[in-house]
A = this chain, B = another copy of it.
């Protein structure tokens, strides 16, 4: 194909999250990326499928918590190497491990394992357009349209156009206050940071060494002492533990040179709450997003899922109802962020079997 790059892009799928915001479906041993939230298979499987189409991509590298190794290998038997974090240290060290496992000239496409992208073709097209800039040393972030003044996301301010839709990124602002976020969403110069980055492995490592040297050093030592078993790569635990736990946004993006943003419209959602899942789910005539053994009588605009007991929902509106064999959640859709409070309370009560 004429548009295939000389050197295929190396996808780096980050699968380290625990996803307690979708409790009780997500659990420590079955994080959000393992769930089939939209009926097409696990989020991780869908994410991997998105980057295995055509000669554009090499086999994906996966970075995951050591505890999830078997589940990931079962879910993705054909993917590339699996780098197992000895403990969770956030995204900056995780990406460093992948960058060190790659060649310095490899172009990495970093992407979360648990986000939805409705338009896979648009996604691949964006990767193609960003590629020349990544080859020139830019870190290209995919900018998602800021649809509302969401305070839980990072915002990227667009600067001068670099060509082919790509802009210089003037500023990264992580989780602004509500007034600022509202101004950003209304202003039209800011995009959400969806956590998808295209860059040379060497570029990332250079920027990390410049702006977060402790992370760069720890990751290097961890990979130097790594052992390999088949596709598994096990970094040295003691060395990795010495890394600060920081996100790529904080450690690199807020400080790096040659930052770029490519605004895209690819049907993205981080599905960060039951409410967010509702927004992207197919619904019945009464506006309900239903999965599993559910009897809905006069229910309206609800998320109702069961993977265990029958759920009989009568006359309810705007609620989230999630039933599993050992836990049932009921919360108004608009309050679905409060699931975290339940998870925290169960932790405090020593109910680890439910987490």
Contacts from A to B (Cβ < 8 Å): 24, 295, 297-298, 306, 308-316, 319, 321, 323-332, 335, 338-339, 341-342, 345-346, 349, 351, 354
With known contacts A309-B323, A351-B310, A354-B310, A316–B345 Cβ distance under 8 A: no
The answer to whether A328 touches B328 (Cβ under 8 A) is yes
Given contacts A310-B346, A314-B338, A314-B342, 7 further A-B contacts (CB under 8 A): A295-B345, A297-B345, A312-B342, A314-B335, A315-B331, A315-B332, A316-B319
CB neighbours (8 Å) of A329 from chain B are 312, 314
Q: Which of B295, B310, B315, B321 contacts A326 (CB 8 A)?
A: B310
CB of A26 to closest CB in B, whole Å: 14
Instruction: Enumerate the 8 nearest inter-chain pairs by beta-carbon distance, A residue then B residue, closest first.
Output: A314-B331, A312-B342, A315-B335, A310-B327, A311-B328, A312-B329, A314-B338, A309-B328
The CA-CA distance from A331 to B309 in the complex, in Å, is 16
Closest to A313 in B: B330
In the complex formed, the residue of B with least CB distance to A323 is B328
A330 and B330 form a contact (CB under 8 A) = yes
Tell me whether A341 and B314 are in contact (CB under 8 A).
yes
Shortest distance from the beta carbon of A304 to any chain B beta carbon, whole Å: 8
- Which residues on the B side are within 8 Å of A341 (C-beta)? 297, 314
Chain B residues near A24 (CB-CB < 8 A): 312
Tell me the bound Cα distance from A306 to B309 in angstroms: 12
Expressed in whole angstroms, the Cα–Cα distance for A310 and B295 within the complex equals 20
User: Closest approach, in angstroms, between the C-beta of A312 and any C-beta of chain B?
Assistant: 4
Please give the distance in Å from A108's CB to the nearest CB on chain B.
Answer: 39
Inter-chain contact A342/B297, CB cutoff 8 Å: yes
The answer to whether B309 touches A309, judged by C-beta atoms less than 8 angstroms apart, is yes
By a CB distance below 8 angstroms, the chain B residues around A324 are: 309
Q: Please name all residues of chain B whose beta carbon is closer than 8 Å to the beta carbon of A332 when the two chains form the complex.
A: 314-316
- In the assembly, what is the distance between CA of A44 and CA of B349, in Å? 35
A-B contact list, 9 entries, CB within 8 Å: A309-B327, A309-B328, A312-B342, A315-B332, A315-B338, A319-B330, A321-B330, A325-B325, A328-B328
**CB contact under 8 A between A339 and B314, given known A319-B330, A323-B328, A346-B295:** yes
Determine which of B298, B308, B310 lies in contact with A309 in the assembled complex, contact meaning CB atoms within 8 Å.
Answer: B308
Residue of B nearest to A332 (CB): B315
Residues on B with beta carbons closer than 8 Å to the beta carbon of A345: 295, 297
Q: How far is the CB of A266 from chain B (nearest CB, A)?
A: 32
Given the contacts A308-B309, A323-B309, A330 and B342 also touching, CB distance less than 8 Å? no
The answer on a CB contact under 8 Å between B326 and A311 is no
> Which residues of B sit under 8 angstroms from A313, Cβ to Cβ?
330-331
A151 CB → nearest B CB, Å:
19
**CB-CB nearest in chain B for A297:** B341
A297-B345, A341-B297, A346-B295 given as contacts; is B354 within 8 A of A330 (CB)?
A: no
Residue of B whose beta carbon sits closest to that of A354: B310
Q: B326 contacts A309, CB within 8 Å?
A: yes
A312 to B355, CA, bound (A): 12
Residues of B within 8 A of A295 (CB): 342, 345-346, 349
A315 to B338, CA, bound (A): 9
A288 CB → nearest B CB, Å: 12
Task: Tell me the bound Cα distance from A327 to B335 in angstroms.
Answer: 24
